Amino acid sequence: MALITLRRNLYHLSNFRIHGALAALKNHPVNHVRKMVKERLCPWFPSLQPEPCRVRFHHACCKKFHSENGDALHPLGEPVFSQAHDWAGPEQNPKSLDEQMFYRRLNDLDSSEDVLHFIGTLQPLPDSLAAGALQRICEVEKKDGNHKLPKGILENGVFQALCVRFEQESPSLSDTALVTALQALSLLYVGPQSNLLLNLVAESRHRVNRGGLEVRSLCILGESLIRLQGPGGETLELIIYQLQGEKLETFAPEDIVALYRILQACAEKVDRHQAFLNKINSFSLSVVSNLSPTLMSQMLTALVALDQTQALPLVIKLGKYAVRHIPHFTHEELRKVLEAFIYFGHNDRFFTTALERHVASLCLTLDPEVISTVMEYCGRKQILSKPIFDAVAETFVGQSEKFSPRQVSELTEPFGKLNYLPPNASALFRKLENLLLARFDYFPPKTLLKILHSCSLIECHPVNFMAKIFSPYFLQQLQGEESSVDRLSLAQLTQLFLTSVLECPFYKVKAGVLLTLFPCGGGFLLCLPPHLLSFSSFDLSQ
């Protein structure tokens, strides 16, 4: 009986709600809804012609129905539009909605001409949106590799009107518009005597002296002034001082990283700001989990530049969360992360496992600089990762011409240091031999000695390069301006000589006699054509 009564009550309640919905539609007819939607969209998209709005009625016996907005379920009789403007969310006001639509459309444009055409079709923009358009223009030109705005953009009428507006109305601009416009101009070279730039910088200085700028505006302004004026300006010092007075709890993660970047630009004054840095390092532990791959890479780079060796707890936590970001780092970001871990001596097995998967799957497409940094990381931390070493060896065989002498050295040293021969060792060292023969004169003496010494450590004795290595000319280059060869180079020379004599009994060192080539104890023998060989005796005891 109770169930029957409940169902009967629900039936009457549903009828009541349907009558309420019909009354609402009478008060707000369909034409009124169409009119309000058109008024909100047409200022930004004049060409937009809204389609007729369809209102669907449902039979009273239906219990639930799917909304127009997806699979969200609404009770029977509840209107689709609860308010005339409530079509993007109950807590989103029309102004913020318009701004989101504007920036979404702006970010979809890939050329400055398209951006200018877009804003030229709109009604006069608020200053914050106009500044956003200026920033997008500069971002697009910088992405295309331009160092300054092209002549065609500078002569565009819409662009000129935009600049005149910022130049003449700088005192009345909002803080957000002011710092955004200055940030945009700092991305590309603008003449230091430009009236627009001078007015914006002067107004920014005035507002900093007056105080009251928000943290985000201070950070953006600080970085813009560094790009425009360098790290030595008085205004920048005042910005840092004001940031020190703010509560770090009010900083967003991107503001914390921006603060690191500002202090990184002033690395020579790190002692003056060390107490503030200690506070930032401690607080940053709470925001690591919210950092994007880009922000994480930038934070680690700043910690290296500022020599924050006492911030190891922060580095360890960054390493822990970097594991999930490895597939999402760009080549440059991954290289910076690895360099930071090398600098701080950090090693994490979970990070190494993730790095193995990433390198093994993408090694053929990785930048040579990233590959050499990965090998340097493995060598410094003595990580014998066969998946990484095998993938790197395969990549070098196929793309050896892309590697610089320094990168070749960083790539080959870990093989000798960790005594590992990859499955394609024969092809690897044959490719290395051909590369050294073709570019011998381009390798710095110490770099070349490191490579050959690494080969000898894994029993790949470079016998036929010995003549050049021990020639007076090469030894003089190795010595440089010093009074004698340094101890490390002397030790490597000694080991090269002794291993070649002891491990290869056939190797005879006689002045004026060409070396005879034979296989060497299962190791790979690097060969020089006989006509390229020259030899001068070198007494290691002297």
Alpha-carbon dihedral 179, 180, 181, 186, rounded to 10 degrees: 90
Place of tokens 């005891």: 541
Say if 398 falls within a structural domain: no
pLDDT digits (tens, 9 = 90+) for 237-277: 999 999 999 999 999 999 999 999 999 998 888 889 999 99
Average pLDDT over residues 292-301: 96
Say if 210 falls within a structural domain: yes
**Alpha carbons 500 and 462: distance in angstroms, whole number:** 8
Whether 422 has a pLDDT exceeding 70, the answer reads: yes
Token pair recorded at residue 394: 């395969």
pLDDT digits (tens, 9 = 90+) for 381-415: 999 999 999 999 999 998 889 999 999 999 999 99
**Would you state the pLDDT for residue 503?**
83
| Tally of domains in the chain | 1
**Would you state the pLDDT for residue 22?**
42
Write out the residue range of the structural domain in which residue 104 sits.
98-246
Say if 504 falls within a structural domain: no
Mean pLDDT of the chain: 78
Say if 22 falls within a structural domain: no
pLDDT digits (tens, 9 = 90+) for 478-531: 888 787 788 898 999 998 888 888 887 777 654 433 333 233 333 333 333 333
Say if 72 falls within a structural domain: no
**Alpha carbons 424 and 372: distance in angstroms, whole number:** 18
Say if 358 falls within a structural domain: no
Q: Is the model's pTM score more than 0.85?
A: no
191: confidence class by pLDDT, cuts 50, 70, 90: low
**Would you state the pLDDT for residue 366?**
87
Q: Bin 531: left if φ > 0, else alpha if -120 < ψ < 50, else beta.
A: alpha
Whether 141 has a pLDDT exceeding 50, the answer reads: yes
**Alpha carbons 123 and 44: distance in angstroms, whole number:** 8
**Alpha carbons 196 and 173: distance in angstroms, whole number:** 13
**Would you state the pLDDT for residue 78?**
34
Say if 199 falls within a structural domain: yes
The residues with which 73 forms a beta bridge, in sequence order, are 66
**Would you state the pLDDT for residue 365?**
87
Say if 152 falls within a structural domain: yes
Token pair recorded at residue 187: 């991305």
